[in-house]
Amino acid sequence: MSARRLFFGIGLPKPLQQQLVRWRAEQFPEEAGRPVVAASLHITLAFLGEISDEKAQGLQQLAGRIRQPAFTLHLDDAGHWPRPGVVWLGCRQAPRGLLQLAEMLRAQAARSGCYQSPQPFHPHITLLRNATRPVALPPRNFHWQFTVDHFSLYQSVFAQGRTRYRALQSWPLQE
Ligand code: 2AM
């Protein structure tokens, strides 16, 4: 039986992807880490791991029953986790809608047997990988915002030495 590496997440609008990539190039030297390509910038809501198509179908059905309001996400925080080597962008105060959506998806995943990290959910966009050495973070005077009106199931695809994320299905959040 085939298994795919999947996760539920939130993608970014294209213009915002471009703004973030430009900002990142200004703020971080090349040696700080490996930049995530614009189209791959995302927030993970629930990581599912390598799962069978059957399990994925069950989770897709459950995702389709979720009724949650759309929300605005404010990107006004950044940080560095040296151990996984991640430089990230996030929000100082995560909106309730985001936390509720992630909680629901993570609970459904756990009930379906997908291991969920006991660490508290910290929504973030990974900007740089392999950032294991100290990094000077930019002053926190930035602020982008966007409306999150849908979420998606993504597949992690590793090919030609790089990982890309492919949206398999999306579900709307309510107006
Ligand atoms: P990261 O960006 O902080 O590395 C695809 O791999 C997505 O799932 C990435 O956003 C990654 O987060 C996240 N991810 C990978 N492994 C994970 C895990 N064990 N628990 C939670 N999220 C994970």
**What are the pLDDT digits (tens) for 18-43?**
999 999 999 999 999 999 999 999 99
Tell whether the model's pLDDT for residue 77 goes beyond 90.
yes
User: Which of the four pLDDT bands, split at 50, 70 and 90, describes residue 162?
Assistant: confident
Known catalytic residue: 124? yes
Give 162-169's long-range contacts (Cβ < 8 A, gap of 24+): 162/37, 163/40, 164/37, 164/39, 164/40, 165/9, 165/39, 165/40, 165/42, 167/11, 168/6, 169/60, 169/63
The share of the chain scoring above pLDDT 70, in percent, equals: 99
> What's CA 50's distance to the chain center, in Å?
17
Shortest-distance atom of ligand 1 to CA 116: 20
> pLDDT-derived band of residue 175, with 50, 70 and 90 as boundaries?
confident
Return the pLDDT at 39. Answer: 96
Question: Mean per-residue pLDDT for 38-66?
Answer: 98
- Interatomic CA distance for residues 122 and 110, integer angstroms: 17
Mutate to test the pocket of ligand 1, among 37, 42, 44 (most ligand atoms within 8 A of CB): 44
As a whole number of angstroms, the distance between CA 13 and CA 56 comes to 25
Atom of ligand 1 nearest to the CA of 44: 10
Domain that holds residue 44: 3-172
DSSP state of 52: E
Q: How far is the CA of 49 from the centre of ligand 1 (A)?
A: 9
- pLDDT confidence of residue 149: 98
- Measured in Å, residue 157 CA sits from the centre of ligand 1 at 13
The finding on whether 154 has its CB within 6 A of some atom of ligand 1 is no
How far is CA 46 from each of CA 28, 123, 156, rounded to the nearest angstrom?
Answer: 28, 10, 13
| Nearest atom of ligand 1 to the alpha carbon of 7 | 8
Per residue in 118-154, pLDDT tens?
A: 999 999 999 999 999 999 999 999 999 999 999 999 9
At 13, which CATH number? 3.90.1140.10
Q: How far apart are the C-alpha atoms of 174 and 71, rounded to whole Å?
A: 9
- 119 Cβ inside 6 Å of ligand 1: no
Token pair for 69: 């309001």
What's the structural domain count of the chain? 1
150 flagged as catalytic: no
